[in-house]
Structure 1
Amino acid sequence: MRPAIALIHLDRLRDNFEIVTSHAGHANIISVVKSNAYGHGLHIIAPELHRIGCRNFAVTEASEGARLRDILGPDCDITLLSGLFDSHDAELCGTFRLSPVVTEQLHIQWLRDNRFNGSVWLKVDTGMQRLGTTELKSLHAASQASGIGIAGIMSHLACADTPEHPLNRSQADAFSHLCSELPSATAASLLNSAGLIALPDQTLDFVRPGLALYGAEPVIAEPLGLKPVMEFTAQVMQVRDIEAGTPVSYGATFTANKNMRIALICTGYADGLPVSLSNNGFAEHDGALLPIIGRVCMDYCLLDCTEHPLQTGQRVSFWGGDILKPEQVAARINTIPYTLMTGVSDRVHREVVTNPG
């Protein structure tokens, strides 16, 4: 097996879930496991969350929800955050007991045509200009007239990772107003991971953490003490000495300015190691940081191990170890940790690290 491996630390997942729960007050947790559990492996993450007591999950669309139902069985609720794309999705919702977000009358029609008798979430836009209905009352009435239950009302924050942004409070106020248009017993959900920090008074009935579960701090300036669940690692394939003046990798973008020892690592951009880390990133080994030198290749990258000798067969970590956190690596290349996690390709083996708990 090619030794580019994403280690999945389930003990860290459990710790993160406990931290999120402690910040949610009396609200229920909807664990967001879309996009293959943010690249960690739906078949790994969801059963562990279920085992420790989570009974509410969210994915993007119906086929993903059907897969999750097959994994977890009947003892949980599954929300589709992107709702329905066609009538077949509505059919899947009935077959697999999924609760879609609805934003259009057409969604209700599809559900009615497929004799759906479950519940839906009414999603409203409160300032992000993304997915959400502008006809809440009529959508609620159409749902009830069709015999469709209302799981609740939800919206999504645009600037929660910037707690001081005025749009956060503006959206909360707009959401509160919209909630007042529905029966008082209607469940409400506004907060994602960063929202727990930005608007701690708005936990309401359900919160929807995603990023925090996987251990990336949603607001770097206000850390919650989370631990990365994924540790992206790869093995040393070869070590060699080069002389000063030797160019390295494609394009000769790096030239040794002294005699050096370099290590060839068996991971590259086809595995999810960003090209933008070329001459701009590090790997971690035994408490030391080793610079990535030259251009990251499809299947390989190269490290400067002059000051910290490596040997063939040793494993290095690119994020999720003791030093390199995903949000720090992401900031270095002007992206977000979501892209690192979800960018780890299928050819990278997910290896579960189990610790008692």
Structure 2
Amino acid sequence: MNPPVRAEVVIDLDRLRHNVRLLADRAGEAETMAVVKADAYGHGAVPVARAALEAGATWLGACSLDEALALREAGITAPVLSWLDTPDTDLRRGVDAGIDLGVSSVDQLRGLTGARLHLKIDTGLNRNGCPPWRWAELVSAAIASGNEVHAIWSHLARADEPGHPSVDEQAKRFAEAHLLCLAAGLSPRRHLANSAATLTRPDLHFDLVRVGIAMYGLNPVPRQAEDLRPVMSFRSSVVLRKDIRAGESVSYGHTWTAERDTGLALVPVGYADGVPRLLSGRMEVGIGGKRYPVRGRVCMDQLVVDTLGDNVPLGAEVVLFGPGGPTATDWADTIGTIDYEIVTGMRRPRVRRRYAG
């Protein structure tokens, strides 16, 4: 048994390497970008980036310039793309550090020199990216700026729904954007596929795929079985045991009342640590290889487990999600969200992070 902890996530880098190898193999001739934005989806950007590069990724993706520069400061020299910053961000820092920059508007080009650009076309997600009717203007401005147009790219809205017609429509718009670049004398690389499209649309792999959630072992296409291995597990320990009589109620609001005499185990994690309060009365944990229900409301710092009459020892490991307990996806499905939100919600410094593999 592991030593007792208050709140800890364990990041299994061997599992991450397995996932990256699987995805890079599925990418075929295309290169693989490991997306490590948001501190690698809560897994830790620097150790994850290093493990992903060891396993066959050749690029890294960071949302903000600060995230990208943190990789450089850690000594990582692989190509890095940064694509979303506020207008006052000094992009010169990125150019000086050899960071590729995502550009979605003419305004972002002003004063920018010596950069390697990835021009982003909005093909239908209607979020970041240049609208198609302004694409020719952006391409012309990028050429005139003297910066290198290294690639064009876009992002798919519904690739996790195989066969959805929007994917083909976005691919068509992306192809049209590419043809305009060729007509303007450019020969940019192309990247469109996210994790889901990497697994389901080999025709959209082009020169580079960007893998995010699948790299962390969470399947973006649950109807399609894949040998993806969850990288993060979340654990705590039993810090108090007590017995209660039938008719006694538990936690704020007394939303659960014992129908029989039972034992309770107190676990020192709550919604301040990333356990959604919406899981109150709707979750189980793993203790000693057995699943036990959580009773009453999840509190800020603690939750209460019904031990069902078993003699659960003080200090016993409690698996919130991971091997021996539910999964992050189980949590997400129960409360109507996505597992991305679960794994990025493990709140440091309250939740310690430990690496295996």
TM-score, normalised to structure 2, is 0.93
2: CA distance, partners of 1:2 / 1:318: 12
1: CA distance, partners of 2:161 / 2:42: 25
2: CA distance, partners of 1:238 / 1:87: 51
Q: Give structure 1 stretches of 5+ with no counterpart.
A: none
Q: How far apart are residue 322 of structure 1 and its match?
A: 4.4
Aligned residues: 348
Q: How far apart are residue 118 of structure 1 and its match?
A: 2.5
The alignment yields a C-alpha RMSD, in angstroms, of 1.7
Partner of 1:30, secondary structure, is strand
User: What residue is the counterpart of 2:128 in the other structure?
Assistant: 131
User: What residue is the counterpart of 1:334 in the other structure?
Assistant: 336
Residue type of the alignment partner of 1:172: A
Is the counterpart of residue 108 in structure 1 residue 71 in structure 2? no
Q: How far apart are residue 323 of structure 1 and its match?
A: 4.8
Deviation string, structure 1 residues 222-251 (Cα, Å, up to 9, x no partner): 121111111011111111111111110111
- Counterpart among 311, 320, 323 of residue 322 in structure 2: 320
1:19–1:224 CA contact under 8 A, matched in 2 = no
Distance 1:320 1:185, change over 3 A: farther
2: CA distance, partners of 1:313 / 1:276: 26
- Counterpart among 111, 115, 119 of residue 116 in structure 2: 119
User: What residue is the counterpart of 2:61 in the other structure?
Assistant: 58
2:285–2:325 CA contact under 8 A, matched in 1 = no
2: CA distance, partners of 1:238 / 1:269: 19
2:24–2:56 CA contact under 8 A, matched in 1 = no
Distance 1:242 1:50, change over 3 A: same
Q: How far apart are residue 54 of structure 1 and its match?
A: 2.6
Partner of 1:194, secondary structure, is helix
2: CA distance, partners of 1:110 / 1:308: 68
Pairing 1:241-252 to 2, within 5 Å after superposition: 241-252=243-254
1: CA distance, partners of 2:124 / 2:22: 28
Residue type of the alignment partner of 1:57: L
Pairing 1:94-173 to 2, within 5 Å after superposition: 94-111=95-112, 116-134=113-131, 135-173=134-172
Q: Give structure 2 stretches of 5+ with no counterpart.
A: none
Residue type of the alignment partner of 2:344: T
User: What residue is the counterpart of 2:236 in the other structure?
Assistant: 234
Pairing 1:70-89 to 2, within 5 Å after superposition: 70-73=73-76, 75-82=77-84, 84-89=85-90
Deviates more, 1:5-14 or 1:250-259: 250-259
Q: How far apart are residue 94 of structure 1 and its match?
A: 1.9
2:20–2:55 CA contact under 8 A, matched in 1 = no
1:168–1:199 CA contact under 8 A, matched in 2 = no
1: CA distance, partners of 2:203 / 2:310: 48
User: What residue is the counterpart of 1:181 in the other structure?
Assistant: 180
Residue type of the alignment partner of 1:177: E
Deviation string, structure 1 residues 280-318 (Cα, Å, up to 9, x no partner): 011123332111111111111111111554211111112
2: CA distance, partners of 1:228 / 1:96: 33
2:239–2:265 CA contact under 8 A, matched in 1 = yes
Pairing 1:204-243 to 2, within 5 Å after superposition: 204-243=206-245
Deviation string, structure 1 residues 86-111 (Cα, Å, up to 9, x no partner): 34331221232211211111100042
2: CA distance, partners of 1:60 / 1:284: 35
Q: How far apart are residue 32 of structure 1 and its match?
A: 0.4
Residue type of the alignment partner of 1:92: R
Deviates more, 1:164-173 or 1:134-143: 134-143
Q: How far apart are residue 64 of structure 1 and its match?
A: 1.1
1:290–1:308 CA contact under 8 A, matched in 2 = no
Q: How far apart are residue 185 of structure 1 and its match?
A: 3.1
1:119–1:150 CA contact under 8 A, matched in 2 = yes
Distance 1:322 1:205, change over 3 A: farther
Q: Percent identity?
A: 33
Pairing 1:260-279 to 2, within 5 Å after superposition: 260-279=262-281
Residue type of the alignment partner of 2:329: E
Distance 1:109 1:298, change over 3 A: same
1:20–1:213 CA contact under 8 A, matched in 2 = yes
User: What residue is the counterpart of 1:33 in the other structure?
Assistant: 36
Distance 1:118 1:208, change over 3 A: same
1: CA distance, partners of 2:41 / 2:64: 14
2: CA distance, partners of 1:208 / 1:148: 23
1: CA distance, partners of 2:115 / 2:92: 11
2: CA distance, partners of 1:95 / 1:185: 24
User: What residue is the counterpart of 2:19 in the other structure?
Assistant: 16
Distance 1:254 1:121, change over 3 A: same
2: CA distance, partners of 1:228 / 1:47: 18
2:319–2:325 CA contact under 8 A, matched in 1 = no
2: CA distance, partners of 1:322 / 1:29: 32
